Amino acid sequence: MVDITGAAGARGGEHKELPQTHTRMDLKTKEERVKEGITLLKRLHNVGIPKFNFGIQTIQARISEWASSGTAVKEVIAIPNYDRDAHLTLPVERDKTAELVLRQIPQ
């Protein structure tokens, strides 16, 4: 398992509406989401998986959507050429960190 977690807190939710308890101060800004997304993509590149892999392109698209929309994401994305699943968690709350954990697919 390779954990290439981002830079600011813990976990997010799955493409869902925010609970009414959140205030604007509790949510990440677009700038914070972009910064965390770039950090995740750089770390993913550092583990040696090329960016032209379909799974990586899907991860890039999800991060881009999250950075633009501010909608939380929690998804598992297959990277079959490397026998891995990418567990992607992109939260909107400031006290939680974006995560990308690569797990080996059981044989």
Residues of the chain with pLDDT under 70: 1-23
| Residue 9 lies inside a defined structural domain of this protein | yes
Report the 10 Å Cβ neighbour count for 9: 17
| Residue 93 lies inside a defined structural domain of this protein | yes
Give the per-residue pLDDT at 14: 46
| Residue 20 lies inside a defined structural domain of this protein | no
Domains of the chain: total = 1
The pairing of strands 84-90 and 73-79 is antiparallel
| Residue 21 lies inside a defined structural domain of this protein | no
Entry pTM: 0.77
Give the per-residue pLDDT at 50: 84
CA 40, CA 42: separation in Å to the nearest integer?
6
Give the per-residue pLDDT at 49: 85
Give the per-residue pLDDT at 5: 59
| Residue 43 lies inside a defined structural domain of this protein | yes
Asked if 77 and 101 touch (Cβ cutoff 8 Å), the reply is no
Residues near 28 by Cβ (< 8 Å), separated by ≥ 6? 8, 36, 70, 91, 92, 93, 94
| Residue 31 lies inside a defined structural domain of this protein | yes
Instruction: Note down the domain range covering 33.
Output: 2-15+26-104
Give the per-residue pLDDT at 25: 80
